[in-house]
Amino acid sequence: MKKLIGIAVILGVIFLMLHSTPKLALRTCVFFMGYPKAAFITDIGDDEYHNKFDKKKFTKLNAKAYTLTKPPFDKATESELRNYLVRKKGFLYFADYYGEL
């Protein structure tokens, strides 16, 4: 029983660490989307276009858009997965692919 509780605590701490900052949450999202190399090597910057254009929407969602400098390439859609939306919920951050438009 102690091992099970210990494993649960360790997994909980890892989850909190991976979602403690917007950039870590974004890297975690890209990693679990199946692009571990891109998650580690890409640089992350603010997506000025989407942040300006969708400012009211993002304020309501408590979110901000980010872009990857070396985005992963999705073979199914034949496109780069460049833009992501990172939302803040409480003290944690969660990222989702946002798209190009």
How far is the C-alpha of 45 from the C-alpha of 63, rounded, in Å?
Answer: 14
What's the predicted TM-score (pTM) here? 0.85
Domain range annotation of the chain? 2-97
Taking only the tens place, the pLDDT of each residue in 66-91 is 999 988 888 888 888 899 999 999 99
Q: Which two tokens stand for residue 41?
A: 């090597």
Of 19, 17, 20, 23, the C-alpha closest to 67 is: 23
User: What is the model's pLDDT at position 75?
Assistant: 86
Taking only the tens place, the pLDDT of each residue in 1-60 is 889 999 999 999 999 999 999 999 999 999 999 999 989 999 999 988 888 988 899 999
